[in-house]
Amino acid sequence: MRVVCIFRENQDYSRSVNEWLENFYRRTGKRIETMDPDQNINFCETYDIVEYPTILAIDNNGEVHASWRGRDLPLINEVSYYTI
């Protein structure tokens, strides 16, 4: 399972996303892949990502199992389930 956080740096929400990612790492010992939407346009078009930040849990076949969109970031436990 692949978990990806898509967001732009230097936005008003960036600090909270980076803090959430660090908290996630501290609590789980796992890093979440991050992606800049401007450098990954095809990925964003494929998964219809138009709101940032967005977190996706994607299986090896490319199927989305869970997604969280917008500034209200999910609980760490909700996402850590998909990083096993």
d(CA 27, CA 37): 26
Pure H helices in the chain: 14-28, 41-46, 76-80
Decide if 59 contacts 66 (C-beta within 8 A): no
10-62 confidence digits (pLDDT tens): 999 999 999 999 999 999 999 999 999 999 999 999 999 999 999 999 999 99
d(CA 23, CA 74): 12
Residues 6+ apart with CB under 8 A from 34: 4, 5, 6, 7, 21
Please tell me the predicted confidence (pLDDT) of residue 7. Answer: 97
84 — pLDDT class (breaks 50, 70, 90): confident
**Domains in the chain: boundaries:** 2-83
**CATH of range 2-83; options 3.40.30.10, 2.130.10.10, 3.40.640.10, 1.20.210.10:** 3.40.30.10
Please tell me the predicted confidence (pLDDT) of residue 60. Answer: 94
